[in-house]
A and B are shown apart, each in its own frame.
Chain A
Amino acid sequence: MEKELKPIKQGPAVHGKSQLQLLMLKVVLALSPALIWAFYVFGWAAFIALMLTCVSGFVFEWVALRLRSRGRTRQAYDGSGLLSCILLAMSLPPMGPWWLYVLGSFVSIVITKQLFGGLGQNVFNPAMSARVFLLLSCPAYMTAWLDPDKKAGLVDTLRYMFIDWHRESYDALTTATTLDAWRNAKLTGLPLPQPELTDMFVGSTAGSMGEVSAMLLLLGGMYLLFSGIIRWHLPAGFLAGVMLPATLFWLLGPEGTHLSPLVYLVAGSTMMGAFFIVTDPVTAPVTPHARFVFAFLIGALSYLIPAYGLYPVGLSFAVLLMNSTVPLLERLFRPRIFGR
């Protein structure tokens, strides 16, 4: 045999079609309609924010891998870092200061992912842990939602994001999201806001960059589901987890203190959570039963935290909390081995 044969002697000699890079790019493709819509709704702010996150994310990942060893930098090109950065950018407010995005991508790529051993070994969802980190460390900038009607041109956006990003000149542009309004109403006893459902579904109200248009996120999600990249257990579990307590509290709870479950169904963050955040395979359990329970509890927590707690959006907290229980869930729901 003149040529040196493949070193692996055992195991199948042939392989199916699925590739890691292909998988990641398909998920990015599923995200792209909602992304393009965000560019349309928020104008340049969204585009610059996305570029900032992705480029700084790639650089951080490349450097982190290079520090580990020369051979590993190849892993920086497998699209998983890009996906986490896009998800992070979509869950941040559009017109935030530039360091918000760079710090976010540092926390998500370097601390939450590479420090734990790189792709496949991180225990917490990188995008969500960065979002929680930013929400806790700089709440002011994280809750400044750009009003879609007042989006600015390229030059103004750049000025806002890079030069005078401090608070004062910034308030003019912001407005409250539906969930914000509901929380304020609950605290101050004002009548509940009755949001325009179709408006929210199509996505022209304010909110984090990617979580605006529930319809396009649903579209991307359906594509992922039917092309077999994700399994139904995680999205179904999450949606059940959100809708069950929502309808329960809406029916049983005292009149006028809880939003109708429909609002949650059309809210962008629910669709984003169901199809893109919860379904991150690395930080979710592997067995179907464990996946359903995992997603259900995330849904329930992400409903309870804004309902009874301080923070308007509970998804990121819920995801981190449940990520830490994944090893236990897997040990609990281990399927019966053949013949045992």
Chain B
Amino acid sequence: MMFGLAKKFDGGLKLPPNKHGAEAPSRILPIPESLTYYLTKNIKETHQCIVNIGETVLFGQSIARGLGHQPDIHAAYGGVIEAIGSKAGPYDAPEEQAVIIRTSEYKNVYKHDDKIKNKSDLLKSMGVAGMGGAAFPTGEKVQAAGAPRVWLINGVECEPMLSCDQCLMREQADKLVQAIRYLAAEIMPGRVILALESDKADAVSAMRLALGDVTDIELACLPPRYPQGGEKQLIQTLLGLEVPSGTHAAHLGILVLNVATVMAAFDALAYHLPLTHRLVTVAGQGVSAPGNVWVPIGAALKDVLDFCGYDGAATLRVTVGGPMMGRAVNSLDVAVTKGTSAILALTAADELAVYSAQPCIRCGVCTEVCPARLQPEDMYFNIRAGRLNRTRETGLMDCIACGACAYVCPSEIPLVASFLYAQQICRIEDEQKARAAYIGDLVKARDARLAARRSVRMGKSASREAAARTVDPAAMEKVDAAREKARSKIDK
């Protein structure tokens, strides 16, 4: 059943798809020698390691417990824990704490016990995280959405060069429908909508075939436009609803899950299989055999790129994630994480962005393409001038870093880099304010404690005095007179 287009989302632009190797069948990466799992993100601890060096682990055994809602980490292959130390990371900070496993075999699989009943805890212990790129813990999302009014399955792959969702849908359409039906039984959504873009013909036909004339799952074929795959943009397009700023769609009862995340969640809930492998697109002119590869999470970029014919000489930049929202990495021994949807080896032929940062002429083209209806040139002007609180008022925290503004800017200004830098500074400032408020409470608590103690002591001395007055009133008059004289001397 086709879904009428409620409302086109604001801004956005048409990008050349150049999906090299999207049609190629997916391949499987041979076992790499070592696997690297990160325990910290920007030096802030996110996981606690539960194995120690020299211990042997089995295929699928969990090696680190996630703090808070963070899902756990599992070994993609059996092997020996080689080291726990700092290694080059894909995030902003250059070095991260990581566990390194020397792989040996994958025969005997670690059996997970089935004690956990609650589905969001099970998802957390099976390590399921968002695979669209943000790696948001799926367990937390499912729990926050409860019985969602609408469940959107996000097969929209609007970034150029990316084709892992398309390949997944093309090759495993039936398993996806089975997964959707199984999860629908679990989370009881009001409506189920599978969204994908009409220019991925093979995926659309595969899904249509798999769905047949089923009525409970709606298929939405959307015209291709970047950044339609964003959660808020997809909701605005399909449901005509704007998620209020600062709140997650899950809290409104709208659950949005990436196609790959749905598959991972299905494996976790139905078969208790942890998330250890994911489909990664390898593209860009620097790779001779681009395409989609089943990669164990933790494999180094070097192994994956060499597997697809990497030509180091021509490559100017290696990006983890899509060409628009991905992040450049400086060294190739960075590892694949759950959120890595693509590894791109970009050469000069890929219209590589050279941020020459010429002066901004306020042409307003970035304002037209911004899906969050922000003013990128005004925010950039205030960031350059150092007025970050002014930038926050004009919506810095609503920027989804989709890169549309930096793509169209004629002066090639590093807009997204400035916005992310400003966002991090604002987060640090918020932390300082929160700490100041917390310490303010400590001070008030201390004053209250001292005041209470003083009143207790006053109470005791008052009762002692009353008792003395009943025993010998005359002496007490002398005491009062002396007190009066002392007090009058102080007042003068």
Contacts and interface: CB of A to CB of B under 8 A. Distances in A.
On whether A and B touch (CB less than 8 Å), the answer reads yes
Interface of A: 1-3, 5-6, 8-16, 18-20, 22-23, 75, 78, 80, 118-121, 231, 281-282, 284, 286-287, 330, 334-340
Contact of A338 (B355, B359, B362, B373): B373
Contact of B407 (A16, A20, A339): A16
Interface string B326-339: 11111110000000
B415 interface: yes
B312 interface: yes
B378 A20 contact: no
Contacts of A335: 373, 375
Contacts of A281: 361-364
Contacts of A78: 358
Interface string B342-380: 001010001111110011111111010001111101100
Contacts of A20: 358, 361, 410-412
A18 B408 contact: yes
Given A5-B317, A23-B361, A334-B375, 12 more contacts: A1-B312, A5-B316, A6-B354, A9-B328, A10-B420, A11-B414, A12-B403, A13-B324, A16-B408, A22-B410, A23-B363, A281-B361
Among A1, A18, A336, A338, residue most surrounded by chain B Cβ atoms (within 10 Å): A338
Nearest to A283: B362
Nearest to A340: B245
B398 interface: yes
14 contacts: A10-B401, A11-B355, A11-B403, A11-B420, A12-B323, A12-B353, A14-B324, A18-B408, A20-B410, A120-B360, A286-B367, A287-B367, A287-B375, A338-B372
A1 B305 CA distance: 13
A6 B350 CA distance: 14
Nearest to A335: B373
A340 B324 CA distance: 26
A21 to B, nearest CB: 9
Contacts of B236: 338
A78 to B, nearest CB: 6
A1 B361 contact: no
Contact residues of B: prevailing secondary structure: loop
Among A5, A12, A120, residue most surrounded by chain B Cβ atoms (within 10 Å): A12
A336 B395 CA distance: 10
B104 interface: no
Nearest to A80: B361
Interface of B: 10, 92, 160, 232, 236, 242-247, 312, 316-319, 323-332, 344, 346, 350-355, 358-365, 367, 371-375, 377-378, 394-395, 398, 401, 403, 406-412, 414-417, 420
A274 B326 CA distance: 42
A14 B160 contact: yes
B244 A15 contact: no
A282 B401 CA distance: 25
Contacts of A336: 373
A120 B361 contact: yes
Given A12-B403, A15-B353, A338 B242 contact: yes
Given A5-B317, A286-B364, A12 B406 contact: yes
A125 to B, nearest CB: 13
A316 B367 CA distance: 28
A20 B245 CA distance: 34
Among A6, A9, A13, A80, residue most surrounded by chain B Cβ atoms (within 10 Å): A13
A8 B355 contact: yes
Contacts of A18: 365, 408-410
Contacts of B374: 337-338
Contacts of A337: 245, 372-374, 394-395, 398
A13 B410 contact: no
A338 B242 CA distance: 7
Given A5-B330, A287-B375, A330-B378, A119 B417 contact: no
A286 B377 contact: yes
A2 B326 CA distance: 21
A335 B11 CA distance: 13
A121 B377 CA distance: 12
Given A5-B328, A18-B410, A286-B375, A11 B416 contact: yes
Nearest to A281: B363
A1 B318 contact: yes
Nearest to A230: B363
Contacts of A338: 10, 232, 236, 242, 245, 371-374, 398
Given A1-B332, A9-B92, A286-B378, A14 B350 contact: yes
A78 B411 CA distance: 10
A11 B312 contact: no
